[in-house]
Amino acid sequence: MVRYWQEFFRKNGPPLAFYLLISVACWMLLMIIMPQLFMLDFSFRTNVPPPLWGTEAHGYTLEHYQYMVFGSAQSTDSYNFVDLSVFGRTILTAIFVTLIDVALCYPVAYYLAHVAHGGWSRLMVMALIIPFWVNELLRAFAFKIMFGSTGVINNFLITVGILDQPFDFIRNGVALYSGLSYAYILLMIFPIYNAVESLDKNQIEAARDLGSPWWRIHWRVVIPHAKPGITSGCTMVFMLTAGALAAPQILGGPSSLWFTQIIYQAFNQAGNWARGSAYGIILLTSSLIFVLCMMRIFKVKLGEIAR
Amino acid sequence: MTSDHIRKFFAVFFVLGFFAYLFGPLIIMSLTAFNSSAFPRITPWECFSVEWFEFLANDAKLIEGLQNSIFIGVGVVALAVPLGLSGALMLTQVQARIRPWYYTITIAPILVPGVVLGISTLLFWDRVGTMFGASRDSIFYNGYFLTIVGQATFISAYTMLVFISRLQRFDRVQEEAALDLGATHVQTFKKILLPFLKPAIASAAVLAFLASFENYNTTVFTIVSKSTLTTFLAAKVRYGINPSVSALAVVIVVLTLFGAALHEVLKRRELAAEKESAKIAKGEQATRKAKSRFILDPAVIIIFLVTIAGLGTAYFAGTMGLDECKAEVRAEKQRIVQERVKKREQKTMFQEAGRQALTPGATEEGAKGKPAPGTSNFQGLFSPNNLEEQAGAKQRAQEEDKPRTGTEQFQGIFAPKNLEEQAGGGEGQKQE
């Protein structure tokens, strides 16, 4: 170990070695690891007003995790159905949104990478970047305009004669689901596009020459090659959707709360930081566990993701 | 048509649909910014106007949020670029055994929900502040500091990825040569590595700034009592919406288009420069051509001029004739409302008439007996055209003869749809 550090200092020279060590240490310890550990610690403590933090009264407890499952002691229900159902719906919707995004993006990515040619595909790939840089809030806002009771979609459906009364898309969650699918769709298409593009065209040609139908070419040649891209896209979209705050705040109806909104409420309205952190930990660990399980099932390593 | 053709047709159709899904909402939102209607929508279209942009420019809170966002963005660039660079340089030097762990930990913040990052940053620095006994207005509780640190946590991972991909093409031999020739480590870093990384530094900085500028999930927790552009926007969108938000979106979309075009121009220039160096290396060309100044690049000038011209046209079209158009729209609306009032009153009259009709001949008598006074709203009822309608009056009156109070009828005139048109601004709250 000592020899390693000696070698490190000799190779980089003292000024650079110090710069590297200090900044990496700051980043990893002060910004990544320690805050998470403090949050974990905080989530196990009682909820007392800030002046009492760190005193005797600020002891350890499991109450916030218990609250998530069983609800408050006063309530008559045996489980905390409100929070549990919001949590379950958040995870299920995130999975659903991820699947929709894969279904939408894979054909488009394949088309852009292997069917479209030259300038056109280049232009289209560049055009994809534009919605990506438009603010998440504004994208949600655009959906709110479209799905409003006098929005374009309602007006269109009424003019065509399918509806005779405006349909409340926002209350029914349609606006939220389409807004969420839209919000992170580009984090799905770019990894898949990069993966598919790196596939040698000759492989597809060979499969075709050998008489393989188009669906089998995809199933046996293209998809296996694109697997790391698909997985990385799915991971990103799932994590970001489960942790989204802007779209649910803007597009969510009164009855469709998102789990992050409960965390937000615990922090900003109830002033219960401890419960907020406990819920944050629950969100983080459960979505991480889900992603790791999926990666185990599909046999992809973390290193292949985020390329 | 073979099945191949059909498949091709479907593929094109699908891709077009996908792009419509991507751009449709943005285009509709952008259009609503130019409608003078107080609620963001494109139908009914009222007047082409740029007043929402003026409204935007006069919003002091927006300007304050924008300034804060820019300040924080610059801070994040200053923090995340060096951190990402050191993270990338370190990656090649850590022991192979711990390299996967190192990589996982540094990449993890990208996957951690922004909400969680915000909370943990807030809590951690709060605890640190308490440990040092710092006062409430010290740096540990400062919204700018917390936001910069919180955002830099994951943005550094982005910049690190940019540097890693550039460093993969770096030839270590150059560094060794410099060291052999007696350069110090710092000199080597400055003269060899940094120039090589220059494009990566530029794109990492742009990426970091944009990521910081549009971040909401982390910022909303760490900003404490201040506001940034995104928290301002969120508040605005949640509590009552009007087209000034769309106007802001238009500004952002135009800037993005501009940036994308600029990026493309820069990339082409870089490619051209690389080709040129390759030629020089092969000896096909003696010297480097004089590099044209960036400002004088024709493509840049054209983009710039087109943007200016577009903005100017929009401004003139949006301000000229706006007042007349608005007056027309208002008159039209008044006419519609009055028509509805008339219809209501007609119905009331018919109802009355229907009741009277129980005693035979009353309707006709009423119709003949009361010539319409000029200013009366009832005028229409007795005009010659209406005689036909009157014939069916009895039947209709019976249909309508449900118990009704005066207020109910009055409410009908101001039905929710009417209200929307008259005070569209209120609709946002209603939808909340």
Q: What is the DSSP string of A158-203?
A: HHHTS-SS---TTTTTHHHHHHHHHHTTHHHHHHHHHHHHTS-HHH
Angle between helices A273-297 and A259-268 (to 10 degrees): 160
- Examine the pLDDT at B290 and tell me if it is beyond 50: yes
Q: Which residue in A has a C-alpha nearest to residue B113's C-alpha?
A: A243
pLDDT at B75: 93
Contact residues on chain A for B21, CB-CB shorter than 8 A: 104, 182
Confidence of residue B404 (pLDDT cuts 50, 70, 90): very low
Of the two residues A76 and B144, the one the predictor is more confident about is B144
Contact residues on chain A for B259, CB-CB shorter than 8 A: 133
CB A101 within 8 A of CB A178: no
Interface contact flag, B25 A144, Cβ < 8 Å: no
pLDDT at B287: 60
Confidence of residue B48 (pLDDT cuts 50, 70, 90): confident
CA dist B121 and B126 (Å) reads 8
Hey, what domains does chain B have and what are their CATH numbers?
Answer: 52-242 (1.10.3720.10), 261-318 (no CATH), 329-431 (no CATH)
Mutate which of B3, B69, B124 to test chain A, going by most A C-beta atoms within 10 A? B124
Which segment of A33-47, B238-252, B337-351 scores lowest on mean pLDDT? Answer: B238-252
List pLDDT tens digits, range A156-194: 788 787 777 777 777 777 888 888 888 888 888 888 888
b/e burial code for range B300-327 (CB count within 10 A of at least 16 → b): beebeeeeeeeeeeeeeebeeebeeeee
Confidence of residue B30 (pLDDT cuts 50, 70, 90): confident
A53, with CB counted inside 10 A (0-12, 13-18, 19+), is middle
Confidence of residue B408 (pLDDT cuts 50, 70, 90): very low
Interface contact flag, A150 B7, Cβ < 8 Å: no
Confidence of residue B123 (pLDDT cuts 50, 70, 90): confident
CA dist A147 and A153 (Å) reads 6
pLDDT at B102: 86
List pLDDT tens digits, range A208-219: 888 888 888 888
Q: Which percentage of chain A shows pLDDT scores above 90?
A: 1
Q: Which residue in B has a C-alpha nearest to residue A245's C-alpha?
A: B217
List pLDDT tens digits, range A221-232: 888 888 888 888
Find the CB nearest A16 among B83, B111, B185. Answer: B185
Of the two residues A255 and A281, the one the predictor is more confident about is A281
pLDDT at B83: 92
Task: Work out the mean pLDDT of chain B and round it to a whole number.
Answer: 74
pLDDT at A216: 84
pLDDT at B217: 86
Domain boundaries, chain A: 78-304
Q: What are phi and psi of B35, to 5 degrees?
A: -90, 135
Interface contact flag, B15 A108, Cβ < 8 Å: yes
Of the two residues A68 and B402, the one the predictor is more confident about is A68
Of the two residues B301 and B80, the one the predictor is more confident about is B80
Mean pLDDT of A114-129: 76
pLDDT at B148: 92
Mean pLDDT of A128-147: 81
Q: Which residue in A has a C-alpha nearest to residue B231's C-alpha?
A: A137
- Examine the pLDDT at B426 and tell me if it is beyond 70: no
Mean pLDDT of B383-395: 44
- Examine the pLDDT at B427 and tell me if it is beyond 60: no
- Examine the pLDDT at B74 and tell me if it is beyond 90: yes
CA dist A240 and A234 (Å) reads 10
pLDDT at B299: 64
- Examine the pLDDT at A297 and tell me if it is beyond 60: yes
pLDDT at B319: 64
pLDDT at B405: 41
Q: Which residue in A has a C-alpha nearest to residue B420's C-alpha?
A: A150
pLDDT at A270: 76
Task: Work out the mean pLDDT of chain A and round it to a whole number.
Answer: 81
CATH match for A78-304 among 3.40.640.10, 1.20.1260.10, 1.20.1580.10, 1.10.3720.10: 1.10.3720.10
For the entire predicted model, the pTM comes to 0.75
CA dist B355 and B363 (Å) reads 9
